[in-house]
């Protein structure tokens, strides 16, 4: 341990264990959430996950991120240092802003999942024309 | 004593005490991680300053030593791997994207800035043949053992 600033990842407390078919620990990915103009940007660290094993679900203002991570070790090796666990990621968020769920987009690169959540049209400032009759 | 397949020569020179030393080191490591863990889940400020170090797993089998570190969001060109003596040094920088700096931040849990980690390597590792790969945010280093170290297994014959 050469530093007190070693980054670790916490276990997911809200993991829905009943829905999990694989054993092992489930981790809570670290996230950054930013507001960027007309959208919210969520960036989650899910290192080890493959893009096709990431599942994103948005319903009734709840955003759910689930990412499967394949085992990294064969089980025959001896550990000289073991500082983090390898396992699936799970995290949910309550999004208070109205989100246009049809336009949510996501991309994945270098272990970081980026979600773009565009705000619903209703929230955007709008000019209403007054009809003269 | 000589029949015990031991990991390397230097450790066996420590005599009977070395298993105790290994146990003590292990207890120290567990204690350290236990003390640090409650703080590990705290959200770090994202002011980018200060160094951080990535957590690593180091495993060993008959043929090689493997070092795995989770380094999400870091471009492979920003990761530097070097070997000095029997120390493996991982260093680099996680660059803060421009939007993080300029836009409204609701929540920030990831750490930016430069990182550095020194990992002691066991004896008998061929540091000339290190294979480094970065896939989906995971850096994997494979360090093959030297032929002398790889074949240090004593067969017990039945007579």
Tell me the ipTM for this assembly: 0.76
In chain A, residues with a C-beta closer than 8 Å to the C-beta of B37 are: 8
Looking at the predicted structure, is the pLDDT value of residue B60 above 70? Answer: yes
Which of A5, A7, A81 is opposite residue B57, by nearest beta carbon? A81
Q: Tell me: pLDDT of B38 over 70.
A: no
Domain ranges of chain A: 17-123
| Confidence (pLDDT) at B50 | 63
Predicted pLDDT at B42? 41
Q: Which pLDDT belongs to residue A127?
A: 75
User: Nearest CA to CA, how far is B67 from chain A (Å)?
Assistant: 9
pLDDT band at B135 (very low <50, low <70, confident <90, very high): very high
Beta bridge partner(s), residue B84:
B87
Is B87's Cβ below 8 Å from some Cβ in A?
no
Residue pair B110/A43 in contact by the 8 Å Cβ criterion: yes
Count of A–B CB contacts within 8 Å?
150
**B86 interaction partners in chain A (CB closer than 8 Å):** none
Q: Which residue has the higher pLDDT, B42 or B33?
A: B33
Characterize the bridge pairing of strands B113-120 and B87-94. antiparallel
Is residue B12's pLDDT more than 80?
A: no
How does DSSP classify residue B47? Answer: S
The span from the CA of A130 to the CA of A56, in Å, is 41
Contacts of B57 in chain A (CB under 8 A): 72-73, 79, 81-84, 86
Res A115: pLDDT: 93
Contact call for B71 and A2, based on CB within 8 A: no
Average pLDDT across chain B, whole number: 75
Per-residue confidence band for B157, with pLDDT thresholds at 50, 70 and 90 = confident
Q: Taking CB atoms and an 8 Å limit, are A47 and B136 in contact across chains?
A: yes
| Residue A64, φ and ψ in degrees, nearest 5 | -125, 125
pLDDT of residue B15: 42
CA dist., res. B129 & res. A60, Å (int)? 53
- Measuring CA to CA, which residue among B139, B132, B64 is closest to residue A84? B139
Q: What angle do CA A122, A126, A132 make, to 5 degrees?
A: 120
Q: What is the pLDDT of residue A56?
A: 92
- Write down the architecture of domain B47-150 according to CATH: Sandwich (2.60)
pLDDT-flagged residues of chain A (< 50): 1-3, 17-18
Residue B3 has pLDDT above 60, yes or no: no
Under CATH, what is the fold of the domain A17-123?
A: Immunoglobulin-like (2.60.40)
Confidence of residue B109 (pLDDT cuts 50, 70, 90): confident
Average pLDDT over residues B104-123: 85
Taking contacts as CB-CB distances below 8 angstroms, the residues of chain A near B60 are 77-80
pLDDT at A125: 66
pLDDT at B103: 64
- Residue ranges per domain, chain B? 1-42, 47-150
What local confidence, expressed as pLDDT, does residue B152 receive?
Answer: 64
């Amino acid at each position: 341990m050469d530093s007190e600033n070693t980054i670790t990842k916490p276990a997911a407390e809200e993991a829905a264990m009943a829905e999990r078919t694989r054993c092992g620990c489930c981790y809570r990915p670290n996230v950054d959430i930013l507001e960027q103009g007309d959208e919210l940007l969520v960036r989650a660290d899910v290192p080890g996950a493959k893009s096709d094993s990431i599942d994103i679900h948005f319903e009734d203002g709840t955003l759910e991120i689930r990412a499967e991570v394949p085992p990294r070790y064969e089980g025959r090796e001896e550990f000289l240092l073991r500082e983090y666990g390898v396992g699936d990621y799970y995290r949910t968020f309550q999004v208070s802003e109205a989100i246009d769920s049809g336009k949510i987009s996501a991309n994945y690169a270098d272990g970081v999942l980026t979600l773009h959540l565009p705000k619903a049209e209703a929230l955007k400032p709008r000019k209403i024309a007054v009809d003269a009759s | 004593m000589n029949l015990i397949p031991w990991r390397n020569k230097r450790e066996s020179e420590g005599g009977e005490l070395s298993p105790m030393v290994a146990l003590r080191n292990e207890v120290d490591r567990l204690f350290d991680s236990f003390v640090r863990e409650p703080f590990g889940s705290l959200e770090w400020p994202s002011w980018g300053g200060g160094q951080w170090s990535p957590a690593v797993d180091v495993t060993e089998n008959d043929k090689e030593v493997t070092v795995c570190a989770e380094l999400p969001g870091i471009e492979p060109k920003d990761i530097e791997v070097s070997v000095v003596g029997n120390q493996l040094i991982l260093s680099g920088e996680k660059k803060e994207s421009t939007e993080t700096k300029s836009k409204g931040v609701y929540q920030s849990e990831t750490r930016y800035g430069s990182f550095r980690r020194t990992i002691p390597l066991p004896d008998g590792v061929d540091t000339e043949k290190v294979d480094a790969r970065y896939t989906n945010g995971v850096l994997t280093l494979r360090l093959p053992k030297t032929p002398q170290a790889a074949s240090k297994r004593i067969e017990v014959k039945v007579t």
